Chain A
Amino acid sequence: DTGVSQDPRHKITKRGQNVTFRCDPISEHNRLYWYRQTLGQGPEFLTYFQNEAQLEKSRLLSDRFSAERPKGSFSTLEIQRTEQGDSAMYLCASSSLGGPSSYEQYFGPGTRLTVT
């Protein structure tokens, strides 16, 4: 088990471009979460999936953001028409579905997005 992986690790894009990030959760983890972290702050929840169903979305997730988890395995987060305010670290986490460990979220290394 190699943990949660994210790709790419770094992305630099120009304002107005679209970007897509990928997250591969720990195998057999049914829940997958996306968070955003800006410099000097704690991560902020964006959205989460249980299997392929998107169960909750934050108000932070504007209509320019879309997330998918088509087969209940990996997930993608797309940002359309990027703005400078989108510059942040985008973190993915996963957890198992049942039992006492269902709360335990394990984070990937993150994708650092810089919008110029």
Chain B
Amino acid sequence: QQQVKQSPQSLIVQKGGIPIINCAYENTAFDYFPWYQQFPGKGPALLIAIRPDVSEKKEGRFTISFNKSAKQFSLHIMDSQPGDSATYFCAAAMDSSYKLIFGSGTRLLVRP
């Protein structure tokens, strides 16, 4: 019940494309869903996050879509650039324990 399942494992898009990364969870007590971006040899960087009372959130070229009934959320990257090539992790947390439960990651490659 603590798991967060992420797909796909890897993704290749052309520059300007819109990669979509999906995550699913089981525990309905989760109430915070962030996305992190990680470059090789670096720590994860917080990109964007959403709470379950909102169905969509946009920050720059990054959008989270949230489906509470399906217990799924996804990250869309608009107008993707080669510099977006990185590993993306979804995560979830609940207010009884602030620890983040991470998905297994998606390696994104944006071709020029």
Contacts and interface: CB of A to CB of B under 8 A. Distances in A.
Task: Please say whether chains A and B are actual partners in one complex.
Answer: yes
Interface of A: 4, 31, 33, 35, 40-45, 48, 56, 58, 91, 93, 95, 102-110, 112
Contacts of B100: 33, 35, 43, 45, 105
B98 A107 contact: no
Contacts of B89: 42-43
Given A107-B43, A108-B43, A56 B104 contact: no
Given A41-B104, A42-B89, A103-B49, A48 B44 contact: no
B32 interface: yes
A53 B42 CA distance: 28
Contact of A48 (B45, B98, B105): B98
A43 B34 contact: no
Given A56-B97, A103-B93, A43 B102 contact: yes
B97 A106 contact: no
A41 B105 contact: yes
Given A43-B44, A107-B44, A107-B45, A48 B99 contact: yes
Contacts of A102: 98
Contacts of B97: 56
From B34, B89, B97, B100, residue with most partner A Cβ within 10 Å: B100
Nearest to B103: A42
Contacts of B36: 107
